[in-house]
Structure 1
Amino acid sequence: MTRARPPGRRRVLAFTAPLVLVLGAWNNVVVPRLPGSSGSYVRANVAATGLLLVAARGAGLSWSELGLDRHRLRAGLRWGGPFAAVVAGGCAAGLAVPAVRPLLADARLGGAGGGEVAHRVLVRIPFGTVLWEETAFRGVLLAALARSVSPPVAVAGSAALLGIWHVHPTRSALVANDLAGGPVARGLAVGLGCAATAAAGGLFTWLRLRSGSLLAPVLLHLAANAAGTLAAAAAHRLRRAPG
């Protein structure tokens, strides 16, 4: 007896291949070529989020498969909220320990004023980064892969592509902070950073699947990036403070 195929499987397969190519290239090829302002980054990623959702629905993926079923919002809050609180609390605790502050500092925020930090936390991170990345990886890509392969393979594939997605950002962070100076050391550092990001993506995906809602990983991702940015900016200010 042959195994029944999910409805629309061929259409989703045709959608998945170009999706993988776009996501693999977006952060590494498209974003570095955007105009330098933060606004262009946010606008491009918000527009890409909308287009991706339209394409996903056109390919036959349901709101539930995408993690956007409004009936699962409460579960998303229940699962994502505690994880977000732990991350934010960890950043605050680290900031309170003088020996840990240098580890939190990021040279890209060394001269940032209050307005720039606020823009990052309130606009760039939630709309330019979290909305786009969670929709793309824990929403559309995971749903598309789940139609074609087993759940473990779908989770692993989504996490692996997330690691590739972070090649350019990881390298940029290393350069900005003058870390891993030689090409070999920098290559190894980029590989390790992307592997760690892929592993974190596995946790985010677990939250998405356990809660049935994209809101859970969104809350954790938002807390990690926003609290990390605030902690980095505060660490620089504390280092410059007299006494």
Structure 2
Amino acid sequence: MSEDKYFEDFVALKKEYDEFIYIVSHDLKSPMRAISNITNWIEEDLGDNVNKDILDNFGLLKNRVGRLEKMMNALLELSRVNKIEPKGDAATLLEMIKECIAMAEVNTSVKIKLDYNVKELNVTILAKKMQKVFFELLDNAIQFHDKEKKNIFVTVNETDRMYEISVQDDGPGIVEEVRDKIFNIFYTVSSKDDLDTTGAGLAISKKIMETMAGKITYEAASPIGSIFKISWPKNNQLNLII
């Protein structure tokens, strides 16, 4: 096959991909919003004297429509991971880590301990992409924890080529039988009816890491809990020291 043919196929595939994104972001989201609005209008028309079972069914309908919209938003986010990040979206490694920890510790039942052993934490990084992945791991550790007091341990190390960030919790962990599925889009260990989640966060995080030539992995903690590790290439920093 000639180079021209490869290029033509690439252009056609990109056009098909762009059309798919347009359909998801416009042609499907609009009717979903309409369903939600119509449901609200019917509820208002029924007034106060309405059977509780009917109200419960309306609530279930709106919940499912909202979940579907969140899933489509996650698909859009996944499709846009390769988008180049503006240069202004930069922060130091230490600044990014502490900001994420502060947001996570708004939940008063959460205690996060930070340890680091790196030569230069004030190196400037592509903040939004790394922040997305790191905060997803913190949020994941909190959301799927099974204890009232949630302990999370963040460790930052480095190699010659990588910054390595580990997020460990003392929660229930993930059973071995499903560990190979946790990075699949929309997969959740717990039922989506029990937790308000789309199951897309880890899949998006994995794609971000792959796009940045990095890596995200999972391993079981001992004796309980989970450990997620991200390896972030140093050549993705902005080569600026603050």
Fold shared by both chains (TM-score > 0.5): no
TM (norm. structure 1) is 0.31
Give the alignment's TM-score, normalised by structure 2: 0.31
Greater per-residue strand proportion: 2
Q: Which has the higher helix share?
A: 1
